[in-house]
Chain A
Amino acid sequence: MTARLFKIFCAAVTTLGVIVLVIVLFHIFREGLRWVDVQFLESFPSRFPEKAGIKSALWGTIWLISLTALFSIPIGVGAAIYLEEYAQKGAVNSFIDINISNLAGVPSIVYGILGLTMFVRFCGFDRSVLSGSLTMSLLILPVIIIASREAIRAVPGSIRHAAYALGATKWQTVKSHVIPAAMPGILTGIILAFSRALGETAPLVMIGALAYVAFVPEGPMDSFTALPIQIFNWASRPQEEFHQLAAGAIIVLLAVLFAMNSLAVYIRESAERKHK
């Protein structure tokens, strides 16, 4: 009897989780869908809800993500290659290990504080896209490193040995065989990291990404805003229309995230198909 109740309880809870997602999405779409049109995408934010749009936020996000990719991908994958292929298994390596998994758990607002002090103030980059992307890069670096390391570790040792036995150096082996074989896993990890970066608000608030920005960034040193900031700003206002605008912006954000996740799933599945 308890057994049956227990099973029903567990199933009910699980179903509740699914229902929650459906309700959340339904609410967002009901509130915001009517605001999402071409004008919404092409207008700058405004005091008047009918005129307001996410153009600056959208372009700010594009700039932010592009620059973040420029910094975080080479460094993250490079670090993963070093740790898996070159580093001696010893005290230093496990220290770096622990360090990275701790960094993965640091609240994002602390990264914001680091970015504020290091990049905005100390380096003098001010509230620019450069500061934002450097901060974001530090934030998602642990995610990229951890996912890439797993992908590299999954490459069978027999491939490496075959390459070494042909008189290849370590880098030749890594470049020609290990990285290509680990690529699906690395790409999935990168997409995961960027899904996270897209939605992060707290660090951007700390480094001063403004919400009332009526221009599109033209260079890395320009100030900027981003989609999550715009959402935060509109949601913080008391007026109902701004809440609905926030919902509209959320729809755009979720659409982009959905596209990225579908890409990740596609990569994962085509890689699995290749190895069948």
Chain B
Amino acid sequence: MTLKTMQQSTTANVQMEKPVLTAKNVTICYGANQAVKDVSLSIHKNRITSIIGPSGCGKSTLLRAFNRMNDFIPNASMMGNIYFGDVDIYSKDIDPVDIRRSIGMVFQKPNPFPKTIYENISWGPSINGIKTDLNELVEKSLEKAALWEEIKEERLYTSALNLSGGQQQRLCIARALAMEPEIILMDEPCSALDPVSTAKIEDLMFELKKRYTIVIVTHNMQQASRISDYTAFMENGTLVEFDNTVKVFTRPKNKRTEDYVTGRFG
């Protein structure tokens, strides 16, 4: 995809889209340390939003807040609100388990279960009582993750740990897809992979965005500019700039953004 075609596709329908995920004045602390400071942004449906910034700027923390994975960090606390549609996901009557069934996550280091490929993908749906034919669901998920061709029927019941790093990560994507989430959160999904696998996954994301909404944290700016529709730049816990990717990379409003994307620091 050239820069030009990207421009053409995104300029048309920018302003009037309904956000699926909205963060309002979100502040997240680990004990006394503020990792995310008063961040507000919206994630739009069927788009790829990337969050970029130097190490330690809070981007992963913010991402984890979207599916309440920060709940597992003992001294993490949050102020502000995050809305999934109209639902405040941190309200008292929401069970985070329900949120995570609609908002999936792919982690930085591929973490397949030490089970067969089939079991990896079928486990999520089976414990959630999804009634559809599991065999079909597994095959479709592997197809959507562009892994079916490499796996086929014969390797379905072999251990997932025998796959290469790039294949394992696509397996993790397939596993998340099997839950039919609305949104997929990706935390630096390619940072542990080689360039070939990275390219495969980036291509995959273009396909996926037709049906899903993707939020990706990445420290690879080229990746962000290649694949995302919107880019959020964070530094030191604050949201410095959030706009169309094209604008952020070619005509950034903030000097710090410009310094970062031109490689002057970070």
Within 8 Å of chain A (Cβ to Cβ): is B109?
Answer: yes
Least Cβ–Cβ distance between A182 and chain B, in angstroms = 11
Complex interface residues of chain A between 151 and 194 (CB less than 8 A to chain B) = 156, 158-159, 161-169, 172, 176-177, 181
- Total number of A residues with any Cβ neighbor in B under 8 Å: 18
CA of A168 to CA of B102, assembled, Å: 12
Query: Chain A residues near B114 (CB, 8 Å)?
Result: 159, 181, 275
A166 & B123 in contact (Cβ 8 Å cutoff)? yes
Within 8 Å of chain B (Cβ to Cβ): is A89?
Answer: yes
Q: Return the contact of B123 from the options A158, A165, A176 (Cβ within 8 A).
A: A176
Within 8 Å of chain A (Cβ to Cβ): is B124?
Answer: yes
Instruction: From known contacts A169-B97, A172-B127, infer whether A162 and B111 are also in contact, taking CB-CB under 8 Å.
Output: yes
Select the stretch in B7-15, B16-24, B66-74, B228-236 that faces chain A.
Answer: B66-74
B127 & A159 in contact (Cβ 8 Å cutoff)? no
CA of A168 to CA of B123, assembled, Å: 10
Instruction: From known contacts A164-B69, A166-B124, A167-B101, infer whether A159 and B107 are also in contact, taking CB-CB under 8 Å.
Output: no
A164 & B100 in contact (Cβ 8 Å cutoff)? yes
Instruction: From known contacts A167-B179, A168-B124, A176-B123, infer whether A162 and B113 are also in contact, taking CB-CB under 8 Å.
Output: yes
Identify the closest chain B residue to A168 (Cβ): B127
A166 & B100 in contact (Cβ 8 Å cutoff)? yes
Instruction: From known contacts A167-B98, A177-B113, infer whether A162 and B107 are also in contact, taking CB-CB under 8 Å.
Output: yes
Identify the closest chain A residue to B126 (Cβ): A176
B97 & A167 in contact (Cβ 8 Å cutoff)? yes
Identify the closest chain B residue to A169 (Cβ): B97
Q: How large is the interface on B (under 10, 10 to 19, 20 to 34, 35 or more residues)?
A: 20 to 34
B74 & A161 in contact (Cβ 8 Å cutoff)? no
B109 & A158 in contact (Cβ 8 Å cutoff)? yes
CA of A166 to CA of B111, assembled, Å: 12
Identify the closest chain B residue to A274 (Cβ): B114
Within 8 Å of chain A (Cβ to Cβ): is B175?
Answer: yes
Within 8 Å of chain A (Cβ to Cβ): is B172?
Answer: yes
Least Cβ–Cβ distance between B216 and chain A, in angstroms = 15
CA of A168 to CA of B74, assembled, Å: 19
Residues of B whose CB lies within 8 Å of any CB of A are 67, 69, 72, 74, 97-102, 104-105, 107, 109, 111-114, 123-124, 127-128, 172, 175-176, 179
Assuming A159-B113, A162-B107, A165-B105, what are 11 further A-B pairs, CB within 8 angstroms? A161-B72, A165-B100, A165-B107, A166-B179, A167-B98, A167-B99, A167-B102, A168-B124, A168-B127, A169-B97, A176-B127
Sample (29) of A-B pairs whose CB atoms are under 8 Å apart: A89-B74, A156-B111, A158-B107, A158-B109, A158-B111, A159-B111, A161-B69, A162-B175, A164-B69, A164-B72, A165-B69, A165-B104, A165-B107, A165-B176, A166-B100, A166-B104, A166-B179, A167-B102, A167-B124, A167-B128, A168-B97, A168-B100, A168-B124, A168-B127, A169-B97, A172-B127, A176-B123, A176-B127, A177-B113
